[in-house]
A and B are shown apart, each in its own frame.
Chain A
């Protein structure tokens, strides 16, 4: 990924709760993630990782608490920037070509020169030659490349990755890890939910474990770091 024009941005979760009826998906979660940090969330299925990321993307509404985006000095931003979101689901249309998908979302986001931006991103994710192929003809790895390109259309300072490597073959996972490394090195803030250790998890600069919607471990260094990332459903 090329170095893009964005302002480094952090996120602060202030005592957030998310309830579905009587069930707590997140319970009093407070975290401050400075600009440029690469955070890996680990935990069992249902521990609240996806909910936390969807709240950061403003796709899910909070039951209580607040989420604020911060500038480099930690001050709250008046206008929150858009976050790039990549999930296990590709969030692109199978019946459109790779280029049509990027043009659609670029136009919706009001991006200047959408065709040029789409072409540049297709080149960066290595799909320029398949730009006119329908996404439904793509492999899982290629679809995930389109998903990454879609998420980066507006050059977001914050990138949210929700189990993005699920279903990828080793080659696809390696490409993905390389892309995350480039995103991290470009100064973007990255929040990713992962299942167990992988090439992507080694890029994290901070590891947080969630259990039953609460933060139970949060570390940047030490032996605990690896044990959090190695955490699986077992």
Chain B
């Protein structure tokens, strides 16, 4: 499955086309329902130097506990890290096959999907997509069922298992800073422009331009443009995605559509079942009364 996917990416990338398997992939929106242009983030892994300034800025902006291993320590790169309830973004190091002395650094955090699986899974609207793009967490509503974690294709929401009053924790795109007109802490802190904040539409243009200008440097695919219906955060990279810890087995269907068919059926069943059952009940009662000489009391 991964191989055919990879082939698809190559074809789609080199032709620069959006065509796949005879049909257009589900179109990715660049605006919210209210017509507001989505904000986004462009991660260019070819620019990232692994300084982890984004991690430090994120830690500070979200007032997270001091990391166990100091942010200046290189040893964290020895193993592949995942985000945790106390670290909303992590940078991982991957070997570079083209230039072995220049390892590739890839950030991981919430992708802020256009149509987030977590928000469509949440039964209390604790996970919510804002009009501006951020997928935020209303902690007062959350009941801790962790369905968002089951649903998230990127395994981003993290749960505080060791707390008696736990919350789900993840990157919220520095929503409050955005509301104040500032950019998120990580992109502000990035010294290399590897994390670039902007309107998603503009970021896509920038990404395409970069690929066009340096076609040998980049894989011709913008990760996040179509994955799961499009994500707010986009990735550019020079090595195959599956070698950079990016999930490559994702379809282009927005996740809410996976359950919408079932949910559309609900009102139908609610109307049809009772009417059919009442009808059946009357029918049988009627024929029963005809069979017995005296009507039965039931």
A and B: real partners?
no
Residues of B that sit less than 8 Å from A by CB = none
Residues of A that sit less than 8 Å from B by CB = none
